[in-house]
Structure 1
């Protein structure tokens, strides 16, 4: 390692300490001199101390010519104990004087020292990322404390369930499909449950933060990136539970607009030759759906806003919705096998009852062997079938006003898209 890199590494250690020190000093900026345990100078020196400890460790390793040291890490451990002891002592005296209880500055000092060591002896990228994360956590104290005060038990329980399903249950579920026609993968089914629950939870949080008029629309747009079908079903269920159907319809329609834009992006990325036939009708339909969602959102702003539902998601209801979508996908694969290549359009429409992305990727992947006109018609049929399916799901799972707005947006955007396609064909022909 040359001297330039060593200076860079030590400079990163100092920068991490300075960044933490700025946040600590700013928080206690009104305190008189000598009334705070550590500020910008102290934390900058703690970061430098970590870098120096790392330099000493590297020097000892280099002098031993690769031989195993009898006491590896002894220098780092010694410095770390000294920093922790000094910080704990002065923080204790400050706590006694101010009658407060907090170990944040001590932990921050230990982390700053450790990141300084890592910057010199390890990878600089994780060290800098961890330093930025540490400063962000320290700076967000008021936000985090306020969020905890506003947190309800049902929200905490839902978050714990999501984390358990994602990081405990999902890794141990087998991924091999079970059953005929390609079967159903248990892991994919659990992942679908997690996706639907996450959409519902994200929508709940967005409504809590932004209010129903804007929160549902933003949550719907985000959910449309993952699954517009799942978002529609999740919002439909909430509308039947008593949440405001107008704002929820705005969210579901915005999810449909994002889904159309995503389809156009996939086609342009995977099969650009199909764009001339699909881009105009798909974009016209997407713009019209977005305009309808904005209309519903602005209309809701003048109405009395209700509180979000009392539960971010019901796991049983979410599991039922996931089973429904998995069953539709299973039937679609069976139909595809029976229809064969000659029934590509019908098979695409059936498959899109659950998801349009799989059809788009599959058909685009068949180019250039597949005729461009047939491929464009197959994707177009899938888009229309998926839009109609979401309106039907809204009718089955949602309240009457919610379903009416979904049908209105679907019909208007479908007519506009077909008109744009006809106009394009007339101009080109």
Structure 2
């Protein structure tokens, strides 16, 4: 039996009302009968009413649907106002949900059913997340709001204004591409920062270090190494956290390089993957063996997303791109290797993005992969030095030993693949 299309759409409208009504009714389940403006049945009837008005508008004209929606809005708002006045609880959420239910009921008749269902599910999720959203809003700080605004301005205001062509004699710097890459890395770092803020105080070093690797593995190393000085009993678990954050850094480098130029993964993924796997297993082993002995110190990382940081990253990408082109033409592979090592001392993001972009045109894939690998190895050595200098001897030597093994594994895989 073929289901009538109109009955199918009415069924979807009823299901949407049931979905929204379940969420609204569950939140008001403790109120006595007659004290609620709208419950489960009301929202189901609202979607059916919207669907019926949409059906009638097909013969009576669109003005009928507009007038019906206006009448529903006035009636529902009046009842909501009476309830709010008696209870002293003024909130527009219930009214908006009811208007949305009516509108979705109409749209199931006149529009796409998939879109109607998707909007209904999204709206129900938003309604159900009231407490988590309000809790998150209370914890939000002005620097974090400013960071989001800066990201939006960078993406939608500044990026369209930049020339999408090379502007230097060496054909190496494309302002739009450089700025877009800076946006991607800055946004990724901010996501890591948010994850650290959400996970850090509740799930300890392991998850926070993994998230910290997205924000800044160097900052994570610095934080955990210093913590080991004040909490020497947690040296093993803190060393494990440092290694986990470094493993995430390696995974991030592979992902970013592949996103910019997918063929670059051929010379890059295996050596870096081998080194990253050693870091991951070493960190996991240390955390597992530490158990509960070392506790779970809280990890704090400052907001990495500021306009000055983004500008410095964009400038660094541009400078490295230009130097890579000049040094390659002047000194060949030796100049490129030197640049990779020097860049890796401070940062791996800029050199990864620069080499990956150049590998699309003027730089050989093998040379780009080797350069990125050198930068990652250099950065890993620098973080080992930080752990040795700032942390307890146990933390420092555990990090240094695992890092050396990771670099050795990556180098061995690289040599084997070259041979």
TM-score interval for Structure 1 and Structure 2 normalised by the shorter chain: 0.7 to 0.9
CA contact (8 A) 2:272 2:410 kept: yes
Aligned residues: 393
Q: In 1, Cα distance between the equivalents of 2:400 and 2:372?
A: 15
Alignment CA distance shift 1:243-1:86 (3 Å): farther
Q: Is residue 170 of structure 2 the alignment partner of residue 181 of structure 1?
A: yes
What is the Cα deviation at residue 96 of structure 1? 2.1
* Structure-1 residue corresponding to 2:41: 41
Q: Is residue 109 of structure 2 the alignment partner of residue 112 of structure 1?
A: no
Q: Is residue 17 of structure 2 the alignment partner of residue 25 of structure 1?
A: no
Q: In 2, Cα distance between the equivalents of 1:196 and 1:414?
A: 24
* Structure-1 residue corresponding to 2:251: 258
Aligned counterpart for 1:294 among listed residues 284, 288, 292: 284
> What is the TM-score normalised by the length of structure 2?
0.75
What is the Cα deviation at residue 383 of structure 1? 4.6
* Structure-1 residue corresponding to 2:321: 329
What is the Cα deviation at residue 346 of structure 1? 7.2
Alignment CA distance shift 1:424-1:168 (3 Å): closer
Q: Is residue 191 of structure 2 the alignment partner of residue 199 of structure 1?
A: no
CA contact (8 A) 1:17 1:46 kept: yes
* Structure-1 residue corresponding to 2:145: 156
Alignment CA distance shift 1:160-1:29 (3 Å): same
Alignment CA distance shift 1:407-1:319 (3 Å): farther
Q: Secondary structure at the match of 2:38?
A: coil
Give CA-to-partner distance per residue, 1:339-358, whole Å, 9 cap, x none: 6xxx5797589679644477
Alignment CA distance shift 1:111-1:43 (3 Å): same
What is the Cα deviation at residue 148 of structure 1? 1.7
What is the Cα deviation at residue 45 of structure 1? 1.5
Q: In 2, Cα distance between the equivalents of 1:264 and 1:311?
A: 24
Alignment CA distance shift 1:160-1:383 (3 Å): closer
Moved more, 78-87 or 385-394: 385-394
CA contact (8 A) 1:252 1:406 kept: no
Q: Secondary structure at the match of 1:170?
A: helix
* Structure-2 residue corresponding to 1:75: 64
Q: In 2, Cα distance between the equivalents of 1:199 and 1:397?
A: 24
Aligned counterpart for 1:144 among listed residues 133, 140, 143: 133
Q: In 2, Cα distance between the equivalents of 1:362 and 1:15?
A: 53
Q: In 2, Cα distance between the equivalents of 1:53 and 1:355?
A: 60
CA contact (8 A) 2:317 2:353 kept: no
> What is the TM-score normalised by the length of structure 1?
0.73
CA contact (8 A) 2:212 2:245 kept: yes
Aligned counterpart for 1:416 among listed residues 389, 401, 409: 409
- Alignment map for 1:20-419 (pairs within 5 Å): 20-60=20-60, 73-211=62-200, 213-220=205-212, 222=214, 231-232=216-217, 239=223, 249-250=242-243, 252-259=245-252, 262=255, 270=263, 281-294=271-284, 302-303=294-295, 305-306=297-298, 308-309=300-301, 311-338=303-330, 354-356=350-352, 378=367, 381-391=370-380, 400-401=389-390, 409-419=402-412
Give CA-to-partner distance per residue, 1:152-171, whole Å, 9 cap, x none: 23322323332333333333
Q: CA RMSD in A?
A: 4.4
What is the Cα deviation at residue 46 of structure 1? 1.1
Gaps in structure 2 of 5+ consecutive residues: 229-237, 344-349
CA contact (8 A) 1:200 1:234 kept: no
Q: In 2, Cα distance between the equivalents of 1:21 and 1:203?
A: 36
Give CA-to-partner distance per residue, 1:192-247, whole Å, 9 cap, x none: 44334323422332222111614543324556xxxxxxx446657x7599888868
Gaps in structure 1 of 5+ consecutive residues: 61-71, 224-230, 367-373
Alignment CA distance shift 1:287-1:163 (3 Å): same
